[in-house]
Amino acid sequence: MLNETAKIETDADKATPKKGKAAKAPAAKVPRKGVDAGVQITPPNFKQALFRIIGTAPLVMHAFSAKVQSMMEETQAQGSKAKKGKKRDPKNFDDLYERARHVAKEGWDGIPCAAFRNSMIAACRTVGFAMTISKLSVFVVADGIDRESGQPLTKITKGKPHQHRAPCRNASGVIDIRARPMWDEWEAVVRLRWDGDQFSENDVANLLARAGTQVGILEGRPGSTNSAGCGWGTFEVKQQ
């Protein structure tokens, strides 16, 4: 019995802090900086729908052709020798017009999906919605791929292009004559995919409508970063 009592007293002594030293409390788990301990990440909730659009102004595009790109690559590869004594070839306006179109592998004309997405993101400024969030929330599903550049395209479902020639100012300040495809009347069906936790279908339809009315797409659009536009590239949304 004496030994057992001594053992019990010894265990109690171990649990009692020594004189002059405070007992250490168990370390609390501190959440990492910037992380809310109560945050729960939900799975992606993406929705998808078709929206029919009708042009309210002519549509003009200017694709960067593979031929022009190869010529630039050749010039840059030659370095300073490229311009020395080089003869300037006559401009073939018909060829430039054809190469300025975005043509899918299947042969139809299209509009780069990025044109609609960029326009919708820019339109967020008109309603005070954060553009950085909309970049992660709204996407355009492609109908096909550009046969030269590989860009995703939305098909132009109605309208035929014709050659439009007009003077334009290059980045160097020099005036140039450009031949580009123009659609006087045009339609398309845009397939949008969006984050359902950020936008409702009605929100997306209204955002696309604002993009068509206030920003526009492609050449000469009202929302151009380089000018006030030429009144081209606007559209309205019709019920699909």
Residue 240 or 138, more confident? 138
Give the tens place of pLDDT for each residue, 143-199.
999 999 999 999 999 999 999 999 888 777 888 899 999 999 999 999 999 999 999
pLDDT over threshold 90, residue 30: no
208: confidence class by pLDDT, cuts 50, 70, 90: very high
| 102-120 pLDDT tens trace | 999 999 999 999 999 999 9
Rounded to an integer, what distance in angstroms lies between the CA atom of residue 51 and that of residue 206? 11
pLDDT band of residue 229 (cuts 50, 70, 90) is confident
User: Which residues, at least 6 apart from 91, have a Cβ–Cβ distance to it below 8 Å?
Assistant: 177
Instruction: Tell whether the model's pLDDT for residue 95 goes beyond 70.
Output: yes
Q: How confident is the model at residue 9 (pLDDT cuts 50, 70, 90)?
A: very low
Q: What is the pLDDT of residues 124-142, one digit of tens each?
A: 999 999 999 999 999 999 9
What is Dmax (Cα atoms) for the chain? Answer: 116
Residue 197: partners with Cβ closer than 8 Å, 6 or more residues away: 42, 45
Percent of the chain topping pLDDT 70? 75
Structure confidence at residue 25 as a pLDDT band (50, 70, 90)? low
Question: Per-residue pLDDT tens for 62-79?
Answer: 997 644 555 555 566 666
Arithmetic mean of pLDDT, 87-106: 90
Strand pairing partners for 178? 166
DSSP character string of the chain: -HHHHHHHHHHHHHHSPPTT-PPPPPPPPPPPTT--TT--PPPP-EEEEEEEEEESS-EE-----HHHHHHHHHHHHHGGGSSTTPPPPPP-HHHHHHHTS-BBTTS-BEEEHHHHHHHHHHHGGGTT--HHHHTTTEEEE-SEEBTTT--EEEEEEE---EEEEEEEE-TTS-EEEEEEEEESS-EEEEEEEEETTT--HHHHHHHHHHIIIII--STT-TT-SSSS--S-S-EEEE--
Q: Are strands 144-145 and 152-158 parallel, antiparallel or unpaired?
A: antiparallel
Residue 139 sits at the vertex; the CA angle it makes with 134 and 143, to the nearest 5 degrees, is 160
Question: pLDDT-derived band of residue 38, with 50, 70 and 90 as boundaries?
Answer: confident
Q: Binning pLDDT at 50, 70 and 90, where does residue 27 land?
A: low
Whether 28 has a pLDDT exceeding 70, the answer reads no
- pLDDT for 206 beyond 90: yes
What local confidence, expressed as pLDDT, does residue 85 receive? 59
Averaged over 49-53, what is the pLDDT?
A: 98
* 195: amino acid identity, one letter: D
